Structure 1
Amino acid sequence: MKKVLYRQLLVKALGLSFLLFSTSFYAQEETAAEETAVEESSAAGGDAAKGKQLFNQNCAACHALNRKMTGPALANVETRLYEDEGLDKEWLYAWIKNSAGMIASGDAYANKIYAEYNQAAMTAFPTLSNQDIDDILAYTAAPPPEPVVATVASADGEGGGASGGISNEIILGALALVFGLLVIMLILVNNTLRRIAEANGVVLEKAKAEKRLPLWKAFAQNQFLVLVSAIFLLLASAYFAYGWMMQVGVDQGYAPIQPIHYSHKIHAGDNKIECKYCHSSARVSKHSGIPSLNVCMNCHKSIYEYTGNPEGPSDEDLANGYTNEFYTAEIKKLYKAVGWDEENQRYTGESQPVEWVRIHNLPDFAYFNHSQHVSVAGIECQTCHGPVEEMEIMYQYSPLTMGWCINCHRETNVKVEGNEYYEAIHAELSKKYGVEELTAAMMGGLECGKCHY
């Protein structure tokens, strides 16, 4: 009777766990609703969807819909010009296609805009047809779409991502429940087998442990084992001590937090900005240099917020706090440091220095010239600095040790094509030693005086 009772309890417990797991699975199923906001055309007959594409291609560099940038805000610009200034659509056609001509003709409103915005004439767009301009005006007249808020999974497991599903907490809870039931089942089976054995007259005895010496006494009495262990510990200690001392001054993997977060992944990776655009001195100077904030403002006068990937930030970015709002806040830090009045689009003169933390730092007695490697040798930045275009936070990729540099000089072939100086050296070495390939080491790249004054 007891055996039957245990079996019934096990069946009921397993059935209950399966029921709970299935219920939680279907309770967590969700479907993500996508926002589709394609605006209808305005009263002028333009296509707002086409106008949005044209706006992003031609206007977004200097204009935004609801804020002043290099040029004025363009939301409802057609209505404002008609009602406030008494202008018509023909004036807009002429202004967009040839703004300089409108200013030269003495048009009052054209010269007013010219004077208000630092006497910089708007770029002419003669290739835009009247229908294209109507489409752009339809987009500027349409109401802006509602902002899309990324769904982040909360700590209690809600909001299981764009495609729905079961949260990790529920899966772990179900697995823990199944594991607990298995443990209970094994205990019940063990007790049942013991009862069956006892009912059949089988006597279960516990194995008697033999009296043995304590482990430490047995170890101390074995002199050979003590000697071998002592030698092993001494060699291991020497090995780890040597490894630790060899890492003194080696900062490979060093990734300090900067006062303004700069993502090489976004700039060099997503936007394909060349390294030497910001670090221009690497071509002509010993140092690669830290780019001035004015270089940043070449783009960020117009890029005042980060919109990111249209699909939204990845789960890894969300886990690290790298949201669109985070990057936009860092742009505001840049404006504060450079003294940029975002509202009036001008410099205030109240700048603040940015205390960047240096990452790559060679000893003072070591000489390294960026221009010699970048311009003369044609070495890519990634050779020493690693996959910079994939780094969210910049870190020291290479060890930058003496041995690492020497190995590079021994293994890297010099590009002699088109360089008469190198071609002459190569010819002499080939004549004397039969050298087919020329390395930096063959040209004296291993001499102490090359890197140490």
Structure 2
Amino acid sequence: MINKKLHLSVWQFVLASVFVTFSMLQSAAQDLDTSDGEPAMPVEAEAAPEEDTIGDAAAGEKLFKSNCASCHKLYKRATGPALFEVTKRREREWLYKWIKNSAALIASGDAQANEIYNEYGQSNMNAFPNLTNTDIDNILAYTNTPKPVAQVLGPEAQAELAPVDTTMTNNIVLGALALVLVVLIVVLFAVNKTLKRFAEANGIQTEFEDEEAETRTPIWQAFIQNQFLVLVSAVFLLLASAYFAYGALMAVGVDQGYAPVQPIHYSHRIHAGVSQIECKYCHSSVRESKHAGIPSLNVCMNCHKQIAEVANETYQEGINEYGVDYNKEIQKLYAAVGWDEETQSYSGEEEPVRWVRIHNLPDLAYFNHAQHVQAGNIACQTCHGQVQEMEIMYQYSPLTMGWCINCHRETNVDLQGNGYYEEIHKELSEKRGGRQLTIADLGGLECGKCHY
């Protein structure tokens, strides 16, 4: 008998076949993923041009936004009536007189003028004597701009614009590859069986008993018998446990990254970033109080009386990138304050908005916003991060004691135009050789500054 080892493990064949199949699957997936799979955006179509084509709509849009947009909208009632296709409801000569001096037209006893005057609570419209008839024609041309609507596509057009659905193709390919894998495993079993028969027929021994296996010491037993390895392992485990336990204890009460879901989605990115609204406009108490404060909803309504809908580009951005319908969030604001869009007045039916606090220091720590923002000239972004880039507000800094102390040690006192520090800087700077003072030099590390 020929004593030769012939290792014909079935699992080796199976593993090899899985590896080959996985390689084929990955290659097929890369071939299939040739398109971005993004659906085509709906095409916006404008209605047929109106017969009244007097004026330049592009120039009128600029004039409208600078003179009329504070009280009027094109497609919705605001402080004044909606102006879309106003030329179909009023004569052009009458509009010239009304826009230039509405008060004089009302005083003349004009029926249309008095009707509008009484309908809108006898509120006088601003006079625009500086606008020429050409300017007004341009504004009226802009008011005839139809509202963009999504084009209604037929079945054939939808089929052409719809993205190619590769799900069916992927399933077919995956099924075929799975079938190939099963066939390959069956073939390998048959080959393995044939090779074993061939070995037995030729007197080749394929399996051997390991005589040394019975006398070999198990690994775990050998490890226990080695005292040095046991000692090193114990020390390593103790150090690792202490490290992770210390990290877990230090994370208690640290809410860095905390971003709760608010009852009304408020985008700091749009307000503080795109619209460049100053932080102190909404958080006005930050100038005089220890708290930044939650803005009252009447501050929001200073703008949103006129802004009931966002621009179409902003709307699509909110839906596609953030999954938020900004227009619905504005409606939540209206419901909270009881604002009626139709009558442009408050109904008196209010609902509380239960905002979720994000930044919260423990009661044992004293922090004064006014002292930092007004006296210290510290920018809001220093502690709160790049708020103007945050769609959802979250806690940017850890707000731990060590973080505050490091800031006091490293931050120089801003003396430019800051009379609060002039006298004290003069005395302390002389004692410290004229170097720039830090917050720590002013007692920023004293316990009583924060813990009183």
Provide the C-alpha distance between the structure 2 equivalents of 1:119 and 1:409, rounded to a whole number of angstroms.
Answer: 58
User: For the Cα contact (< 8 Å) 2:267–2:392, is it kept in 1?
Assistant: yes
Matches within 5 A, 1:130-141: 130-141=133-144
Distance change >3 Å, CA 122–CA 207, structure 1 → 2: farther
Match of 1:223 among 210, 224, 227: 227
Provide the C-alpha distance between the structure 2 equivalents of 1:74 and 1:451, rounded to a whole number of angstroms.
Answer: 58
1:285 aligns with 2:289: yes
Provide the C-alpha distance between the structure 2 equivalents of 1:449 and 1:26, rounded to a whole number of angstroms.
Answer: 63
Name the counterpart of 1:97: 100
Q: Post-superposition shift, 1:214?
A: 3.6
Q: Which amino acid is the alignment partner of residue 220 of structure 1?
A: I
Match of 2:149 among 140, 146, 149: 146
Distance change >3 Å, CA 59–CA 177, structure 1 → 2: farther
Q: Post-superposition shift, 1:178?
A: 8.3
User: For the Cα contact (< 8 Å) 2:43–2:150, is it kept in 1?
Assistant: no
Q: Which amino acid is the alignment partner of residue 136 of structure 1?
A: I
Q: Post-superposition shift, 1:449?
A: 1.3
Name the counterpart of 2:402: 403
Q: Post-superposition shift, 1:330?
A: 1.2
Distance change >3 Å, CA 427–CA 18, structure 1 → 2: closer
Distance change >3 Å, CA 26–CA 310, structure 1 → 2: closer
Provide the C-alpha distance between the structure 2 equivalents of 1:122 and 1:106, rounded to a whole number of angstroms.
Answer: 16
SS of residue in 1 equivalent to 2:317: coil
Distance change >3 Å, CA 415–CA 179, structure 1 → 2: farther
User: For the Cα contact (< 8 Å) 2:385–2:397, is it kept in 1?
Assistant: yes
Matches within 5 A, 1:76-95: 76-81=85-90, 88-95=91-98
Q: Post-superposition shift, 1:402?
A: 1.1
Q: Which amino acid is the alignment partner of residue 399 of structure 1?
A: P
1:295 aligns with 2:299: yes
Per-residue Cα deviation, 1:243-302 (whole angstroms, up to 9, x for no partner): 111112211111111111111112112211111110011112111110000001111111
Provide the C-alpha distance between the structure 1 equivalents of 2:321 and 2:180, rounded to a whole number of angstroms.
Answer: 34
User: For the Cα contact (< 8 Å) 1:42–1:142, is it kept in 2?
Assistant: no
SS of residue in 1 equivalent to 2:243: helix
Gaps of 5+ in 1: 1-13, 82-87, 150-157
Provide the C-alpha distance between the structure 1 equivalents of 2:431 and 2:32, rounded to a whole number of angstroms.
Answer: 83
Name the counterpart of 2:252: 248
1:424 aligns with 2:423: yes
Distance change >3 Å, CA 19–CA 226, structure 1 → 2: closer
Matches within 5 A, 1:330-341: 330-341=329-340
Which structure's CA Rg is the greater one? Answer: 2
Q: Greater CA deviation, 165-174 or 435-444?
A: 165-174
Matches within 5 A, 1:163-312: 211=213, 212-309=216-313, 312=316
Name the counterpart of 1:350: 349
Name the counterpart of 1:318: 320
Name the counterpart of 2:367: 368
User: For the Cα contact (< 8 Å) 1:42–1:138, is it kept in 2?
Assistant: no
Provide the C-alpha distance between the structure 1 equivalents of 2:435 and 2:380, rounded to a whole number of angstroms.
Answer: 27
Gaps of 5+ in 2: 1-22, 153-157
User: For the Cα contact (< 8 Å) 2:106–2:114, is it kept in 1?
Assistant: yes
Name the counterpart of 1:68: 77
Provide the C-alpha distance between the structure 2 equivalents of 1:387 and 1:287, rounded to a whole number of angstroms.
Answer: 20
Q: Post-superposition shift, 1:433?
A: 2.4
SS of residue in 2 equivalent to 1:66: coil
User: For the Cα contact (< 8 Å) 1:39–1:48, is it kept in 2?
Assistant: no
Q: Greater CA deviation, 423-432 or 184-193?
A: 184-193
Name the counterpart of 1:120: 123
**TM-score, reference length from structure 2:** 0.77
Provide the C-alpha distance between the structure 2 equivalents of 1:168 and 1:121, rounded to a whole number of angstroms.
Answer: 62
Distance change >3 Å, CA 20–CA 110, structure 1 → 2: same
Provide the C-alpha distance between the structure 2 equivalents of 1:403 and 1:171, rounded to a whole number of angstroms.
Answer: 54
Provide the C-alpha distance between the structure 2 equivalents of 1:362 and 1:20, rounded to a whole number of angstroms.
Answer: 51
Provide the C-alpha distance between the structure 1 equivalents of 2:259 and 2:142, rounded to a whole number of angstroms.
Answer: 44
User: For the Cα contact (< 8 Å) 2:286–2:292, is it kept in 1?
Assistant: yes
Per-residue Cα deviation, 1:172-225 (whole angstroms, up to 9, x for no partner): 9879988998999999999999999x99x9x79679766244433332222222
Provide the identity percentage. 57
Name the counterpart of 1:447: 446
Provide the C-alpha distance between the structure 1 equivalents of 2:342 and 2:391, rounded to a whole number of angstroms.
Answer: 30
RMSD: 4.2
User: For the Cα contact (< 8 Å) 1:268–1:388, is it kept in 2?
Assistant: yes
SS of residue in 1 equivalent to 2:224: helix
User: For the Cα contact (< 8 Å) 2:58–2:142, is it kept in 1?
Assistant: yes
Query: Which structure is higher in RCO with an 8 Å CA cutoff and minimum separation 6?
Result: 2
Provide the C-alpha distance between the structure 2 equivalents of 1:19 and 1:245, rounded to a whole number of angstroms.
Answer: 49
Q: Greater CA deviation, 98-107 or 388-397?
A: 98-107
Provide the C-alpha distance between the structure 1 equivalents of 2:440 and 2:37, rounded to a whole number of angstroms.
Answer: 64
Provide the C-alpha distance between the structure 2 equivalents of 1:29 and 1:426, rounded to a whole number of angstroms.
Answer: 61
